[in-house]
Amino acid sequence: MNVDRKIQTLDEFTIQQLRDFPGATGELSHLLRNIGLAAKRVNVEVNKAGLVDILGDHGTINVQGEEVKKMDIFANDQFTGVLRHGIACAGIASEELDDFVAFDDPKSVNSKYVCLFDPLDGSSNIDVNVSIGTIFAVYRRVTPVGTVTKLEDYLQPGNQQVAAGYIVYGSSTMLVYATRRGVNGFTLDPSIGEFTLSHPDIKCPESGKIYSVNHGNFFQYPEKVRDYITVCQHKNKSNGGPYTQRYIGSMVADVHRNLIKGGIFMYPGTTDKPKGKLRLMYECNPFAFIMTIAGGRATNGEIPLLDVQPTELHQRSPFFVGSSSMMDELETYLNK
Ligand code: AHG
Ligand code: MN
Ligand code: MN
């Protein structure tokens, strides 16, 4: 069989990027390779989730008499396990774990990165065969290498991210990640089991026609947000409206589409939940970073999202992210 050398795998790509930085240690490439490996394992299970007895509630017993793990827990275990056993991660924090986990083996304490993730985002969509995802953020630890990580390594503002990315388990499986040098997308080629570069140097279109928000909550949103949504629904010469509304309920899939096609995604606070639903550290910050590197923007409604100083691992935040000119338009309403 001829190997098509036009393709470039995730590993090849990250290693090639490293060549441009003579002093680089390769730790970040290693970490991304670990994430890719965990993603492939999760992908296998997600793909057969309809066939096997893995969808049940955590703690129930399947036909083999084994304890059934919810896919969220399965995914969490995969990412945690791979990062724990790799050499590039000093600790993790996850949506599925109350506290961060500092790895204390000799290899891990010598690593300079920590990783925060949502192992499975949109997991309520698995049962109905709709795209779901994984979201991750990578930070350089602030405590000295050689020691066990502390909370302060994890509670860094989003503007300190070294890399961030997501995997979308969709009609095909894609891994997209950003560093300060750019955003690149890799599609899993199942025939060789490799993520291969399919979307080099992704830029979010400066403007778009898609707005994504849960309309069911419309009357719970702040008035300024309602005003903006109403503008999205009207014919408007200056913005080419009315826009098209698209909302899957899997943020990974929603923001991925808007990143590629141009658009805005919003999860505002509501009267019941003023901080909204999404988690700052492993849902909002990674997407804010990716979108910003791709030329878009993100805010919590008050300040640039990436500038928010976190106080808790699992804190929630209102979230608005998208194409730069749509964000400008939104902000004219938010700042009124
Ligand atoms: P998770 O599955 O990790 O709990 O997150 C689901 C999130 C996000 O993906 C999506 O955008 C949002 O929940 C949808 O929430 P609503 O159903 O309230 O719109
Ligand atoms: Mn989530
Ligand atoms: Mn989740």
Ligand 1 centroid from CA 122, angstroms? 5
User: 20-29, 97-106, 261-270, 284-293: which range is least confident on average?
Assistant: 20-29
| Residue of the CA atom closest to atom 15 of ligand 1 | 249
Ligand 3 centroid from CA 85, angstroms? 22
Ligand 1 centroid from CA 123, angstroms? 8
Ligand 2 centroid from CA 75, angstroms? 12
CA distance 151 to 262: 36
Cα dist from 226 to 71, 183, 333, 334, whole Å:
35, 32, 9, 10
Q: How many Å is the maximal CA-CA distance in the chain?
A: 63
Residue 133 CA: which ligand 1 atom is closest?
A: 9
Q: Answer yes or no: are the C-beta atoms of 208 and 245 closer than 8 Å.
A: no
Angle between helices 10-19 and 27-47 (to 10 degrees): 170
CATH class of 210-334: alpha beta
pLDDT digits (tens, 9 = 90+) for 80-101: 999 999 999 999 999 999 999 9
Domains of the chain: which residue ranges? 10-199, 210-334
Pocket lining for ligand 1, CB < 6 angstroms: 95, 118, 121-123, 214, 249-251, 277
Task: Determine phi and psi for 137, rounding to 5 degrees.
Answer: -130, 140
pLDDT digits (tens, 9 = 90+) for 284-336: 999 999 999 999 999 999 999 999 999 999 999 999 999 999 999 999 999 98
Q: What is the pTM of this model?
A: 0.94
3-state class (DSSP) for residue 263: strand
Confidence of residue 23 (pLDDT cuts 50, 70, 90): confident
CATH class of 10-199: alpha beta
